[in-house]
Amino acid sequence: MSVELALIALLAAPVAQALLTMALARPPGLRDVVFIGFAFAIAGLAVFLVDAVGNGATARVVLARPLPNVDLAFALEPLGVLMAALITILGAPHAVHAAGIVRATHEKAPARLMAFLALSMASALAVAFSANLFSFFVAYQALILTSFPLIAHRGDDEARAAGRVYLATLLAGAIGLLMPAMVWTYAIAGALDFQAGGVLAGRVDAWTANALLTLFVFGIAMASLPPMHRWLPAASRAPNPALVSTHALTVLPAGGVGILKVAALVFGPALADARIAAQGLMVLAGVAMCVTALIALSKQDIRERLTYSCLTQVLAVVMGALLATAVGLFAATLQVVALSCAAATLTMAAGTVMAATGRTDVSDYAGLGRVMPWTFAGFALASASMIGLPPFSGAWAKLWLITAASHAQLPWAAALAGAAAVLTFAHLGPLAANAL
């Protein structure tokens, strides 16, 4: 199989997965086999592309050219392939888990829920492989629209209210902030392609760089920098398979990767010209990391506690990306990986507990590890990674973030990252220990 064909197949396979899951909704066994089989096949395609990129392969697929020098195109590059491999490999066990959860909890319209899980995955893969800002914007909008039905799936008053907050926040950021930033970039550079060294490098003055960076960071509301974070708490009451998707596989990772693409491939060295905005946004992210970790400590519903914990972690991605150093970008990338792995494990474990025991309050978790030892072994390991305990991936992400902040001569940023890790321990450490 050629690399171009594999890229097209990877983007199209989740769409086929969604269509076939809906078409073969009865009997449930056939539906589940199709859904799970596609998930493993998609992960296999992603692994194939990882190997191809590791051997120096490149590919670019152009679907349309709506403007001069602007393509609707998808390309292979290391960051996109990393994200694709991460979310599809985690998506395989999630497919098995989702199929079991919808049966155990008698979730309404399970085929529809599974179909939108697949469509959200397709949109997230399009975000990962977007070759330019225009393609990123189209894929980002698609992800908003395909993940919204997951939040409002149950159709009751609470779900509809959560869906409205989710849709309004993300669309307002995308249309009101991200789109003007994209148009402004096109007016300056005459192109929107992601490129090493940044498309804006040498083309913007300090005022323009600061304004554009502010628009981009708040416009990518999936990165959840306050006050654009409101969609994430609203999503916490969604069905568990949707919670796993938004927190670990699609929406939050897409926000982190979007910030990384903007920092490294749109600004590049021009990020140094946006020093005032970058440091202001880092202060906001660092303080918000500590505040959200404290809020998580106050939440007794496990879904809300995990939601605020994930919010703390994605803000660390924003801080690392804005440090304007190679080490900061590496730390932010590793943080995306650590967040996805830990969040997927924690939310799937919480869903298993809810399906098996009906318990969602953290005070009811004490001693459950003796009843569900494998579930809580995974919960404890993921908590350790989220906190930042060695040798887990979360520890190295936080260590590199603190190192990057120190090398950038921003000790306050390193201190805020460290304080957030301590507060994460406060809301996850005793919970895991008491359960065991």
Per-residue pLDDT of the chain (436 residues; tens, 9 = 90+): 789 999 999 999 999 999 999 999 889 899 999 999 999 999 999 999 999 998 888 889 999 888 888 899 999 999 999 999 999 999 999 999 999 999 999 888 999 999 999 999 999 999 999 999 999 999 999 999 999 999 999 888 899 999 999 999 999 999 999 999 999 999 999 889 998 888 998 899 999 999 999 999 999 999 999 999 999 999 988 999 999 999 999 999 999 999 999 999 999 999 989 999 999 999 999 999 999 999 999 999 999 999 999 999 999 999 999 998 899 999 999 999 999 999 999 999 999 999 998 888 998 898 898 989 999 999 999 999 999 988 888 899 999 999 999 998 999 999 999 999 999 999 999 999 998 8
Do residues 220 and 259 lie in contact, with contact meaning Cβ atoms separated by under 8 Å? yes
Nearest to 73 by CA among 18, 15, 11, 117: 11
Strand 60-67 relative to strand 70-75, pairing: antiparallel
Give every CB contact of residue 233 below 8 A, 6+ residues apart in sequence: 304, 307, 308, 311
pLDDT computed for residue 424 by the predictor: 94
Residue 261: strand, helix, or coil: helix
Coil/strand/helix, residue 130? strand
How far apart, in Å, are the Cα atoms of 308 and each of 81, 276, 311, 417?
Answer: 28, 28, 5, 16
* Residue linked to tokens 């809300």: 304
Amino acid of residue 357? T
Are 225 and 315 in contact by the 8 Å Cβ rule? The answer is yes
Q: Which of 117, 51, 52, 130 is nearest to 90 (CA)?
A: 117
d(CA 69, CA 137): 16
Tokens describing residue 397: 């992400």
pLDDT at 202: 84
- Between CA 248 and CA 93 the distance in angstroms is 12
Write down the residue that tokens 């070759």 correspond to. 131
Which of 436, 352, 348, 421 is CA-nearest to residue 386?
421
* 3-class DSSP state of 66: strand
pLDDT at 197 (0 to 100):
85
Q: Are 260 and 131 in contact (CB under 8 A)?
A: no
The Cα 328–Cα 321 span in angstroms is 6
Q: Which residues of 37-66 are buried (b: 16+ CB within 10 A; e: fewer)?
A: ebbebbbebbebbbebbeeeeebebeeeee
Give yes or no for a contact between 171 and 221, defined as CB atoms under 8 angstroms apart. Answer: no
Q: Can you say how many angstroms the Cα of residue 249 is from the centroid of all Cα atoms in its chain?
A: 6
Q: Residue 302 carries which side chain, given as an amino acid letter?
A: I
Distances (CA, A) of 103 to 177, 201, 356: 41, 53, 11
Residue type, 20: L
How far apart are the C-alpha atoms of 393 and 391, rounded to whole Å?
7
Backbone angles phi, psi at 360, to 5 degrees: -125, -10
